[in-house]
Amino acid sequence: MTVKLSDEERIQALETLQDTGWTPTEGRDAIQKSFKFKSFVEAFGWMTKVALWAEKLNHHPEWGNVYNRVDVTLITHDCDGLSALDVKLAHKMDFLA
């Protein structure tokens, strides 16, 4: 089972992730971000790349796509909160965008 981030780890991770647009999700121990692309094809292509990484990590985002925007929420359901997997996937999503 995956372990939740400690309070200190959470603070450190959020400081780094907020610089790239990630914000805490109100009412949940999760983070969220909206990614915008030039077109639907570009947004969907990014989602496909992320999906391959999510499978490798065995960690899958909550997300939705409308035209050129992808809204993402990351949480580790196994521990009902933020874990190192969420931080790793958030950084990978930023890199791929």
**What number is the average pLDDT over the span 67-76?**
97
Query: pTM of the full predicted structure?
Result: 0.93
pLDDT digits (tens, 9 = 90+) for 44-67: 999 999 999 999 999 999 999 999
Fold of 7-96: Gyrase A; domain 2 (3.30.1360)
Give the bridge partners for 23, in sequence order. 32
pLDDT score at 1: 75
Alpha helices, H only, 39-83: 40-57
pLDDT score at 95: 97
The band of 23, judged by pLDDT with boundaries at 50, 70 and 90, is very high
Alpha helices, H only, the chain: 7-18, 40-57, 84-96
**Residue 24 backbone class (left: φ over 0; alpha: ψ -120 to 50; beta: rest):** beta
